[in-house]
A and B are shown apart, each in its own frame.
Chain A
């Protein structure tokens, strides 16, 4: 069972915008498409936007990347993320990625134990900047700074929580920078405008 380098079964916890969220025990290496089908597909027949394949601390993958990937270590790594805890978060086309990142960064901000400097200070910093962007008070310079702060936490902390707080920020900005910039420029989400136009 499983695929090369990722043998055995695994329980995927699929949550988010699927019709049948739940735990699915399958062989490692299952194509993401099959897993999505097990979970009943994207809710209300909407389009898939992005997936966080291994819990909130791993990097987010846009639909086009995750749809081609298999759910094992090697394939997810090649796609630019990792299997992590196998907690699969599925997001459909109505998802506001800025809002999601704000929520995730708030989690790491409150989870930081406060022992070491980069995480204690950096998680709050990132969360505040994202919150400010979300509130329509972002500045163009915030984008590069946000990534820079994440880069400065990554690899500098005592435990892995620091890295875990940095990766979502880096990947969300990498794949969805335009959504952040829209907030900064127009003070509102690109997603709600798109749905309004549709």
Chain B
């Protein structure tokens, strides 16, 4: 920014700095001078339709809207002069004449921008004695309730669709006083971030449907937390009433989720209160299941695991843990299993190709911040249903595309993107590997790079098409270009080939490589050492144990499962339940008790979900985020780190004397600090796969983990239909 852009304005007699091109309201907001507003929102375009922000500007014949008046050097502004206040009060009166004056029965009451401002700018008694407008409510689907008579026509919700989501789901119909907000033809609002219009709506017109009429803002306590279903870790606030989470709202964080929250992160918490929550530890004795106390359950687990180690050797114990467990849980899980002598530990439960895992980054992720992602000029997204996998990352990519970046997709099918896509390389009749090989060959041809031996074999059969050349040209031309590997790529049986090709392509075109990762905490899991080939901190393990795919294919005699429903969360899970049933001792640390678990488990330990435990996540942008639990644990559930700590002690494993999650975090950080990552390329490749359905690697947005699968409202959306039906309440059909 050059100095010429700086100017000065005078507001209420005080000189303020401002920048050329800014609107008045931006300068006053920055200085903490409040101007009332309804339609203005910093993330949306300017509509200037509500007229609440009218202020007096010297020499202007009429009051001007602060949100749509550009700053000018030396301009004198009065935000609270008699003229300004009278204009603002006038607007308030107009807004209220057709607005119901019954805040006590409105769900927005107590947290309504209109109600708040009416306290300052409204009259005590209405002068309006004509008939008031009544507007029919709309059915927008299971997430958003409407009370359209309360709408003040600010069009924030409309602009959200047009500008942020990229699909205009809501619009205005009619004119004048009869203007209505709606979908025109009745339909649900389906965008994966649609819940944000609840926050954007300044009044009680668009509200949170599942939360509706269940609590008042002032009765709840607000707790900061981190979302648990994708690798960005959106910041959020939980609103809690009597220990029960009532709703989730975004916590603004420009570096991560800006002011947004995906619907998955907003509504998933419903799953915490699913009917099949495990209320107490349960134990199977002689084939009979019964509830038991924690002491009995934990000693049974310690005895069971020690027994397996003694009778069959510690290599007969394996542990699988959810990639969305906290870093603290991963750290103690790995320590417990290693303490028992087992090396078969993994969190990569949807991955199947582990060739060259030694070359995995110590903490896999984007290798850049989300802001960097948005700043890319060319992006090649490989194997990702981006919007469903990581909605917030998709939003950043959309912003890049809207700003002019060329975004290419290599995908089994053209998943819908609500931005201009530079090119789709559809792999339906080829494969991700074929298309990448074509791209690499095209890049090598342009840059006169010679493939090394490993690559030569893969490239030999590659066919180069004009689409490959076009994409490569953009990657080369762009100053900032990235090859982004998605979750479909990570689950691919030829992942090692994909990764090698992506690296070669990036090297040849000057692009970076980044990865989206499974769950909320794959980075933290890898750092904490729930891997068969690395210990905490990323150093190579002495012995490489069985990886997730090997464990799933052939479970060992003793099994520890944490936070997963293996038949739904693991790759290649056909027949897994039967194989698990054949084990000798299987402990499942789980928030939910499913009929399937009762067929294979020996002990069920109720663990707190992300809502009920303290811990931290390392997101794909490398940001470590700590949080504490916000909801009272359901039933006898306990935080995972506490369960593992007691188990560690009972199994007489060293290093389990922690009294708080924060202590575990510190211990983990200490180990990670002085570790040396090994990231050499091993050149090991998976055998070629042919005729394989890559589209089948896609996991629907609301099927990613056990909590989301139980979030009733999400399952009722358009995207919920495709999800295996688990414990939907009877009335949900």
Q: Which of A124, A128, A129, A155 contacts B176 (CB 8 A)?
A: A124
Interface contact A156-B91, CB-CB below 8 Å: yes
Q: How many residues of A contact B (CB 8 A)?
A: 25
Closest to A162 in B: B51
Interface string of A149-170 (1 = CB under 8 A from B): 0001001111000000000000
Closest to A108 in B: B176
Interface contact A118-B179, CB-CB below 8 Å: no
Interface contact A117-B175, CB-CB below 8 Å: no
Give every chain A residue within 8 A of B54 (Cβ-Cβ).
156
In the assembled complex, how far is the CB of residue A194 from the closest CB belonging to chain B, in whole angstroms?
30
Task: Using known A-B contacts A125-B128, A156-B54, A156-B63, determine if residue A115 contacts B49 with beta carbons closer than 8 Å.
Answer: yes
Closest to B175 in A: A114
Give every chain B residue within 8 A of A110 (Cβ-Cβ).
176
> B130 within 8 Å of A by Cβ?
yes
Give every chain A residue within 8 A of B62 (Cβ-Cβ).
155-156
Task: Using known A-B contacts A125-B128, A132-B130, A156-B87, determine if residue A117 contacts B63 with beta carbons closer than 8 Å.
Answer: no
> A116 within 8 Å of B by Cβ?
yes
Q: Which of A145, A152, A158 contacts B48 (CB 8 A)?
A: A158
> B184 within 8 Å of A by Cβ?
no
Interface contact B153-A114, CB-CB below 8 Å: yes
Closest to A116 in B: B49
> A59 within 8 Å of B by Cβ?
no
Interface contact A114-B177, CB-CB below 8 Å: yes
Please report the C-alpha to C-alpha distance between residue A143 and residue B232 in the assembled complex, in whole angstroms.
60
> B415 within 8 Å of A by Cβ?
no
Give every chain B residue within 8 A of A122 (Cβ-Cβ).
94
Interface contact B176-A123, CB-CB below 8 Å: yes
Task: Using known A-B contacts A116-B50, A118-B51, A129-B130, determine if residue A109 contacts B95 with beta carbons closer than 8 Å.
Answer: no
> B41 within 8 Å of A by Cβ?
no
Please report the C-alpha to C-alpha distance between residue A132 and residue B127 in the assembled complex, in whole angstroms.
15
Give every chain B residue within 8 A of A158 (Cβ-Cβ).
48-49, 51
Interface contact B130-A118, CB-CB below 8 Å: no
Please report the C-alpha to C-alpha distance between residue A180 and residue B179 in the assembled complex, in whole angstroms.
31
Give every chain B residue within 8 A of A115 (Cβ-Cβ).
49, 153, 179
Interface contact A125-B97, CB-CB below 8 Å: yes
Task: Using known A-B contacts A121-B94, A125-B97, determine if residue A155 contacts B63 with beta carbons closer than 8 Å.
Answer: yes
Q: Which of B128, B153, B172, B178 contacts A117 (CB 8 A)?
A: B153
Give every chain A residue within 8 A of B130 (Cβ-Cβ).
124-125, 128-129, 132
Q: Which of B50, B152, B177 contacts A123 (CB 8 A)?
A: B177
B79-118, CB < 8 A from A:
87, 90-91, 93-95, 97-98
Please report the C-alpha to C-alpha distance between residue A134 and residue B162 in the assembled complex, in whole angstroms.
44
In the assembled complex, how far is the CB of residue A155 from the closest CB belonging to chain B, in whole angstroms?
4
> B61 within 8 Å of A by Cβ?
yes
Give every chain B residue within 8 A of A129 (Cβ-Cβ).
130
Interface contact A114-B179, CB-CB below 8 Å: yes
Please report the C-alpha to C-alpha distance between residue A121 and residue B63 in the assembled complex, in whole angstroms.
19
Give every chain A residue within 8 A of B94 (Cβ-Cβ).
117-118, 120-122, 125, 152
Closest to A112 in B: B176
Please report the C-alpha to C-alpha distance between residue A132 and residue B98 in the assembled complex, in whole angstroms.
17
Interface contact B176-A113, CB-CB below 8 Å: yes
> A111 within 8 Å of B by Cβ?
yes
Interface contact A109-B177, CB-CB below 8 Å: yes
Closest to A139 in B: B129
Give every chain A residue within 8 A of B52 (Cβ-Cβ).
117
> B174 within 8 Å of A by Cβ?
yes
In the assembled complex, how far is the CB of residue A131 from the closest CB belonging to chain B, in whole angstroms?
9
Interface contact A121-B98, CB-CB below 8 Å: yes
In the assembled complex, how far is the CB of residue A129 from the closest CB belonging to chain B, in whole angstroms?
7
In the assembled complex, how far is the CB of residue B94 from the closest CB belonging to chain A, in whole angstroms?
4
Interface string of B177-189 (1 = CB under 8 A from A): 1110000000000
Q: Which of A117, A132, A156 contacts B95 (CB 8 A)?
A: A117
Q: How many residues of B contact A (CB 8 A)?
A: 30
Interface contact B177-A156, CB-CB below 8 Å: no
In the assembled complex, how far is the CB of residue B443 from the closest CB belonging to chain A, in whole angstroms?
51
B118-168, CB < 8 A from A:
127-128, 130-131, 152-153
Interface contact A152-B177, CB-CB below 8 Å: no
Residue with the highest number of chain B CB atoms closer than 10 Å, among A113, A117, A125, A155: A117
Interface contact A120-B179, CB-CB below 8 Å: yes
Interface contact B152-A117, CB-CB below 8 Å: yes
B8-51, CB < 8 A from A:
48-51
Please report the C-alpha to C-alpha distance between residue A112 and residue B178 in the assembled complex, in whole angstroms.
10
Give every chain A residue within 8 A of B172 (Cβ-Cβ).
114
Please report the C-alpha to C-alpha distance between residue A122 and residue B87 in the assembled complex, in whole angstroms.
14
Interface contact B48-A120, CB-CB below 8 Å: no
Give every chain B residue within 8 A of A145 (Cβ-Cβ).
127
Please report the C-alpha to C-alpha distance between residue A128 and residue B98 in the assembled complex, in whole angstroms.
13
Interface string of B48-67 (1 = CB under 8 A from A): 11111010000001110000
Please report the C-alpha to C-alpha distance between residue A152 and residue B51 in the assembled complex, in whole angstroms.
11
Interface contact B61-A155, CB-CB below 8 Å: yes
Q: Which of A121, A155, A157 contacts B177 (CB 8 A)?
A: A121
Task: Using known A-B contacts A125-B97, A125-B128, A156-B62, determine if residue A114 contacts B51 with beta carbons closer than 8 Å.
Answer: no
Give every chain B residue within 8 A of A125 (Cβ-Cβ).
94, 97, 128, 130
Please report the C-alpha to C-alpha distance between residue A12 and residue B51 in the assembled complex, in whole angstroms.
36
Give every chain B residue within 8 A of A152 (Cβ-Cβ).
90, 93-94
Interface contact A109-B176, CB-CB below 8 Å: yes
Please report the C-alpha to C-alpha distance between residue A128 and residue B62 in the assembled complex, in whole angstroms.
27
Interface contact A112-B177, CB-CB below 8 Å: yes
In the assembled complex, how far is the CB of residue A134 from the closest CB belonging to chain B, in whole angstroms?
13
Please report the C-alpha to C-alpha distance between residue A105 and residue B176 in the assembled complex, in whole angstroms.
13
In the assembled complex, how far is the CB of residue B715 from the closest CB belonging to chain A, in whole angstroms?
38
Interface contact B50-A124, CB-CB below 8 Å: no
Residue with the highest number of chain A CB atoms closer than 10 Å, among B87, B90, B91: B90
Please report the C-alpha to C-alpha distance between residue A157 and residue B61 in the assembled complex, in whole angstroms.
13
Please report the C-alpha to C-alpha distance between residue A111 and residue B54 in the assembled complex, in whole angstroms.
24
In the assembled complex, how far is the CB of residue A25 from the closest CB belonging to chain B, in whole angstroms?
33
Please report the C-alpha to C-alpha distance between residue A109 and residue B174 in the assembled complex, in whole angstroms.
13
Closest to A122 in B: B94
Please report the C-alpha to C-alpha distance between residue A112 and residue B98 in the assembled complex, in whole angstroms.
16
Interface contact A117-B176, CB-CB below 8 Å: no
Please report the C-alpha to C-alpha distance between residue A109 and residue B172 in the assembled complex, in whole angstroms.
18
Please report the C-alpha to C-alpha distance between residue A116 and residue B131 in the assembled complex, in whole angstroms.
20
Closest to A125 in B: B97
Please report the C-alpha to C-alpha distance between residue A152 and residue B49 in the assembled complex, in whole angstroms.
15
Please report the C-alpha to C-alpha distance between residue A20 and residue B51 in the assembled complex, in whole angstroms.
45
Task: Using known A-B contacts A145-B127, A156-B54, determine if residue A112 contacts B175 with beta carbons closer than 8 Å.
Answer: yes
In the assembled complex, how far is the CB of residue A61 from the closest CB belonging to chain B, in whole angstroms?
23
Interface contact A113-B51, CB-CB below 8 Å: no
Please report the C-alpha to C-alpha distance between residue A117 and residue B94 in the assembled complex, in whole angstroms.
6
In the assembled complex, how far is the CB of residue A82 from the closest CB belonging to chain B, in whole angstroms?
15
In the assembled complex, how far is the CB of residue A191 from the closest CB belonging to chain B, in whole angstroms?
25
Give every chain A residue within 8 A of B98 (Cβ-Cβ).
121, 124
Please report the C-alpha to C-alpha distance between residue A65 and residue B465 in the assembled complex, in whole angstroms.
82
In the assembled complex, how far is the CB of residue B473 from the closest CB belonging to chain A, in whole angstroms?
45
Give every chain A residue within 8 A of B178 (Cβ-Cβ).
114
24 CB < 8 A contacts A-B: A109-B176, A109-B177, A112-B177, A114-B175, A114-B178, A115-B153, A116-B48, A116-B51, A117-B51, A117-B52, A117-B95, A120-B94, A120-B153, A121-B94, A121-B95, A124-B98, A125-B94, A125-B97, A128-B130, A152-B93, A152-B94, A155-B61, A156-B51, A156-B87
Residues of chain A at the chain B interface (Cβ within 8 Å): 109-118, 120-125, 128-129, 132, 145, 152, 155-158
A-B pairs with the 4 shortest C-beta distances? A114-B179, A152-B90, A155-B62, A112-B176
Apart from the given pairs A110-B176, A114-B178, 8 other A-B contacts in the complex at a CB distance below 8 Å: A113-B179, A117-B50, A121-B97, A121-B177, A124-B130, A128-B131, A156-B54, A156-B63
